[in-house]
Structure 1
């Protein structure tokens, strides 16, 4: 009888929740062009599991210039964090989101800013964006920021200075696109080349086997995001090979 009571007590008791690993820290997520906050859900879930408070922001990436988008998106994220009295601020960005963060910091200081991870950012401008913007027939259909993301005189990324806080960049190096005009010829994630992601002042850099479209859903990338936010650097240890399935003796 006592065993039954003990069993029921343990079974019915609420499970103890794990202590937060990052109490008081807020991570602002900024998606890329053509996306919404839904594209960053896997990042949000992984960070929440690690104990962070997450502000996953949606902004109208197609209809406003980069300068306006930076004020909207970063400003909203900071308001959400500060509204919860969270003063330690991190960012995780995808593609255009990283340029918005750099643009915002060119005009403002962010109190409590600590670390940021940029996924596939066109920090050196984008060869693909420059090519698309050069096609007159497509210009009426293009999102407003495309003309600012290239490598020419209108390039916002090339007008921004070095980053002056702890930034880690993750570049994807898997391209599933056919060799078409305008797309990167060198190692790339299919949209942004590996070299285009680099930025002066970054404290760490790593290439991962991921595409531009799905880099934020890659479990290895998510592990690296958390590792950088916690340690200020990526985990560069070689990955252990996957275990091989055990096979029984052959039968003839």
Structure 2
């Protein structure tokens, strides 16, 4: 989801008697659309039940009341047993504290696809931004620490991405950039017909700023079996 919300400052336009620009109209429309969707997807009674639930992380509750985040609260409440689970994932940002994650259903926006139902992976530490996934097929095991490849104090993460039905999945290497966003560094395919070795071992650090992706594919010659392809990359700073 790549929604950018701007603080529209109209003082100069009012004093100079100048009409608002097309960009300002566009930004105001985005905010109005988001607030409208927020009201539709967040009934007050459902919102209250979630906010009063002691099993939800404080960060989840912050997103529920955040007017810029479209949490699917009704779906959240209906599937509370799934979403209230918490899993420790390790010290992600080097503060010597173990971070945990919790899943949150969210309406995610992108310029390419508009609004889509998806799942966000929310970290217990407010310094770590959530990871937004435009698929409802997400669980805890789909995110795993790879290591501090660039040795900047933050761990890079591996993500197993699936659209639910396809035989072919994607393994993605994620890095948190200076703008406090998780970005894809590289990816490779994962054929579920060849589940071994486990996907969490197929992205690994091999040196400073260097990592390795392992892809196993069917070469269509049954008596030769599968072809294993290991690719090494250098991470850009």
TM class, shorter-chain normalised?
A: under 0.3
Higher strand share: 2
TM-score for the superposition, normalised by structure 1 = 0.24
Greater RCO between the two (CA within 8 Å, min separation 6)?
Answer: 1
Higher helix share: 1
